[in-house]
């Protein structure tokens, strides 16, 4: 199966290409990405190249990951448009996946991460046959938690020192989404759950 472009009206999710390396490098220097995403420190352009070639393009060929660039105005299915962010699924090979995402700083606070995450999950359940998608974020990453909860994830627990950020172990919030969590929302955003 060729990795598809997923269209969703005002934006699309398209596969990575080597032309995305410079953009991945630039966004990865953003302080919030450096704080909350497990990436090499200091971050070099070679790290962005590894992400695009191995963790995105190569990992789809090995069916280990499904990484997408969120692009604007690509409802015509071409996948050509301004780059807005990245969403991806790490596939465990046994019907479960772990989600990851970051947005270009210029595209934040427009509800795009939430909508892109929902489209990714919808595709993962429908086309990859996933039975569970897990979300993890560092305790205190309220933006990521808000995105996950608005997309339909249920936050379940705190896992002690389960993530490695900035070279040290940190506590993690963990949550999950099941296929029926999307069905119940009827295609519109849920209002989110109380903290
Ligand atoms: C987390 C991130 C992807 C959110 O992207 P975004 O496009 O701004 O998210 P949305 O616009 O969909 O916002 C969804 C909700 O989160 C809230 N939110 C977004 N950023 C927030 C922030 N910094 N602080 C508090 N709430 C925030 C929004 O207000 C919105 O809630 P509302 O509808 O109740 O107002 C983005 O901030 C980011 O890239 N952060 C750095 C990387 C990261 O932490 N990734 C997740 C790792 S697990």
Would you state the pLDDT for residue 192? 35
Q: Which long-range contacts (CB under 8 A, 24 or more apart) does 48-56 make?
A: 48/21, 48/22, 48/24, 49/18, 49/21, 51/24, 52/16, 52/17, 52/18, 52/20, 52/21, 52/24, 53/18, 56/15, 56/16, 56/88
> Which of 143, 162, 165, 191 gets mutated to test ligand 1 (max ligand atoms within 8 A of its CB)?
143
Would you state the pLDDT for residue 19? 97
**CATH for 6-183, among 3.40.1390.10, 3.40.630.30, 3.40.1400.10, 3.30.1370.60?**
3.40.630.30
Residue-wise pLDDT tens digits, 121-173? 999 999 999 999 999 999 999 999 999 999 999 999 999 999 999 889 999 99
Structure tokens at 94: 């046994």
Would you state the pLDDT for residue 77? 55
Helix H or strand E encompassing 176: strand 168-177
> Which of 13, 116, 146 gets mutated to test ligand 1 (max ligand atoms within 8 A of its CB)?
146
Residue spans of the domains in the chain: they are: 6-183
Would you state the pLDDT for residue 44? 98
Helix ranges restricted to H, 97-172: 112-127, 142-151
Mean pLDDT, rounded, for 91-99: 98
């Amino acid at each position: 199966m060729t990795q598809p472009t997923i269209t969703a009206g005002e934006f699309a999710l398209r596969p990575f290409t080597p032309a995305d390396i410079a953009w991945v490098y630039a966004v990865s220097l953003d302080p919030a990405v450096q704080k909350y995403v497990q990436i090499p420190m200091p971050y070099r352009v070679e790290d962005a190249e590894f992400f695009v070639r191995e963790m995105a393009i190569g990992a789809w060929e090995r069916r280990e990951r499904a990484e997408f660039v969120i692009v604007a105005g690509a409802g015509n299915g071409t996948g050509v448009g301004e780059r807005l962010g990245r969403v991806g699924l790490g596939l465990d090979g046994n019907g479960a996946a772990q989600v990851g995402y970051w947005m270009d700083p210029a595209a934040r606070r427009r509800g795009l991460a939430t909508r892109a995450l929902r489209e990714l999950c919808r595709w993962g359940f429908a086309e990859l046959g996933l039975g569970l998608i897990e979300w993890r974020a560092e305790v205190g990453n309220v933006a990521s938690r808000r995105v996950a909860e608005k997309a339909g994830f249920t936050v379940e627990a705190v896992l002690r020192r389960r993530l490695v950020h900035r070279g040290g172990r940190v506590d993690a919030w963990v949550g999950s989404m099941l296929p029926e969590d999307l069905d119940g929302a009827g295609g519109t955003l849920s209002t989110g759950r109380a903290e």
